[in-house]
C-alpha cells in the first residue's frame, strides 16, 4: 500500500469513519473510498463503485461480486442511526436499533425531551440538527431519520442528510407535511435534475422515504421524476392563499394567548395527555365546584397547534359541567 493511501486509511479509522480499500490483484494497484470520495490508481466503473458501497454498508470484505481480480477490504464502523427528535416514537426506535447492532445518536435541542432518563444508554446531542450533522459527518454506514414534526428541526436536518453519503434518509409525516418538506428541499437546492446518489447500490438517485398515514412511500432524488409533483405545487399555492394565512394567524393568536397556562394551588383533579407520534405533552389541573369546572390550568410541551388547542380548552371548559368535559 502506498504511503499516501495508508495515511488516509489511518486517519479515517482513527476518526471512526467507515472506509474501504480496493486492490487489483494483478498488479497490486489500489483505490481508497472514505464513504464520500474516491482516490487511488484503480479506476472503477459506477457499477463497481456501487458494489463496493454495498459491501461497506454490510461490513463485508472479499472479492468484488462479478470480478476476478478486485478484492475489497472494508473497514466498517458499527452502523449508525441518527435520530432527529427525542419524541415518544424515538424511545421505541432507539432500543430496537441498538438490538439490531446500530450505534444510536438522538439529536434534539429541546433538553426536556432529550434526557438520559428517557433515553438510557443512548448518545444525546442538544445541538440544532444541521449543526450536529455537520459535526457528526454521516457516512456510507449512517442512516438518518427525522421524527419531530417540526420543520424548524426536520427540514435543515433532511437537507444536510441528503447532501451527505448517508445510505438511508427517512422522515415521519403526513402527505401535506411531506409536500411542504419537498418544497423546502427544492429551495435548499437538495434535489437537482439528473443528480445521482447511491442507496442500497445502483446508480439511480437515492430514494428518500417518508411515513404517510399507514406506511412508507419514497420519493426519488430527481425533481423531474417526483410523483405527485403537481400535488406539491397545488398545496404550496393553497397555503399561500388568504384562507391559509387567516388560519395560521388564528392558531398563532390562540397559542400566544396561553389561556389557562400555569398551575393550580390545590387541584381537585389532574390529567396527563401525550401524543407518542410527535412528543406533544399536556398536563391539566382542574378545580370542581358542585358539578362544574370552577378553574382549569394547563402546562404544555409541544408545537404551536398543541398550545392553541390547550388554550381553547382552557377558555371553554371553565363553567362547563364535568360530564361535558
> Is 0.85 topped by the overall pTM?
no
Is the pLDDT at 301 greater than 70, yes or no? yes
Tell how strand 269-274 and strand 123-125 pair up: unpaired
Average pLDDT (283-305) is 84
- The fold for domain 244-324 equals Sufe protein. Chain: A (3.90.1010)
Is the pLDDT at 50 greater than 90, yes or no? no
Average pLDDT (281-305) is 84
Give, as one character, the DSSP assignment of residue 201: S
**pLDDT score for 298:** 83
Give, as one character, the DSSP assignment of residue 251: H
SS3 77: coil
Average pLDDT (77-101) is 88
SS3 301: strand
pLDDT band at 239 (very low <50, low <70, confident <90, very high): very low
Give ranges for CATH 3.90.1010.10 in the chain.
Answer: 244-324
Give, as one character, the DSSP assignment of residue 278: T
For residues 11 and 35, the answer to whether their CB atoms sit within 8 Å is no
Give ranges for CATH 3.40.50.720 in the chain.
Answer: 80-239
- In CATH, the architecture of 80-239 is 3-Layer(aba) Sandwich (3.40)
SS3 165: coil
Give, as one character, the DSSP assignment of residue 321: B
**pLDDT score for 2:** 81
d(CA 32, CA 6): 9
Please provide residue 157's backbone torsions phi and psi, each rounded to the nearest 5 degrees. -65, -45
- Each residue's pLDDT tens digit, 136-187: 888 888 899 998 878 888 888 888 888 888 888 888 877 777 777 777 666 6
Dihedral sign, Cα of residue 179, residue 180, residue 181, residue 182: positive
**pLDDT score for 277:** 57
Amino acid at each position: 500500500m502506498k504511503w499516501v493511501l495508508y495515511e488516509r486509511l489511518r486517519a479515517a479509522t482513527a476518526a471512526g469513519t467507515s472506509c474501504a480499500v480496493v486492490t487489483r490483484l494483478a498488479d497490486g494497484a489500489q483505490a481508497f473510498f472514505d464513504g464520500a470520495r474516491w482516490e487511488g490508481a484503480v479506476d472503477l466503473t459506477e457499477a463497481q463503485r456501487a458494489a463496493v458501497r454495498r459491501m461497506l454498508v454490510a461490513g463485508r470484505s472479499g472479492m468484488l461480486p462479478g470480478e476476478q481480480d478486485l478484492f475489497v477490504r472494508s473497514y466498517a464502523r458499527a452502523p449508525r442511526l441518527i435520530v432527529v427528535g427525542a419524541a415518544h416514537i424515538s424511545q421505541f426506535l432507539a432500543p430496537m436499533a441498538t438490538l439490531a447492532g446500530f450505534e444510536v445518536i438522538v439529536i434534539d435541542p429541546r433538553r426536556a425531551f432529550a434526557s438520559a432518563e428517557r433515553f438510557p444508554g443512548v448518545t444525546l446531542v442538544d445541538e440544532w440538527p444541521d449543526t450536529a450533522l455537520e459535526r457528526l459527518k454521516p457516512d456510507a454506514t449512517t442512516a438518518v431519520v427525522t421524527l419531530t414534526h417540526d420543520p424548524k428541526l426536520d427540514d435543515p436536518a433532511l437537507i444536510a442528510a441528503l447532501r451527505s453519503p448517508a445510505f438511508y434518509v427517512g422522515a415521519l409525516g403526513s402527505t401535506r407535511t411531506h409536500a411542504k418538506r419537498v418544497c423546502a428541499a427544492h429551495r435548499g437546492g437538495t434535489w437537482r435534475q439528473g443528480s445521482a446518489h447511491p442507496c442500497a447500490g445502483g446508480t439511480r438517485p437515492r430514494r428518500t422515504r417518508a411515513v404517510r398515514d399507514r406506511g412508507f412511500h419514497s420519493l426519488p432524488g430527481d425533481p423531474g421524476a417526483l410523483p405527485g409533483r403537481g400535488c406539491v405545487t397545488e398545496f404550496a399555492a393553497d397555503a399561500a392563499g388568504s384562507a391559509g394565512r387567516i388560519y395560521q394567524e388564528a392558531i398563532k393568536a390562540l397559542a400566544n394567548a396561553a389561556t389557562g397556562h400555569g398551575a393550580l394551588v390545590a387541584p381537585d383533579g389532574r390529567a396527563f395527555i401525550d401524543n407518542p407520534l410527535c412528543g406533544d405533552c399536556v398536563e391539566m389541573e382542574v378545580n370542581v365546584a358542585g358539578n362544574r369546572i370552577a378553574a382549569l390550568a394547563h402546562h404544555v410541551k409541544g408545537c404551536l397547534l398543541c398550545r392553541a388547542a390547550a388554550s381553547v380548552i382552557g377558555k371553554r371548559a371553565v363553567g362547563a359541567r364535568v360530564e361535558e368535559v
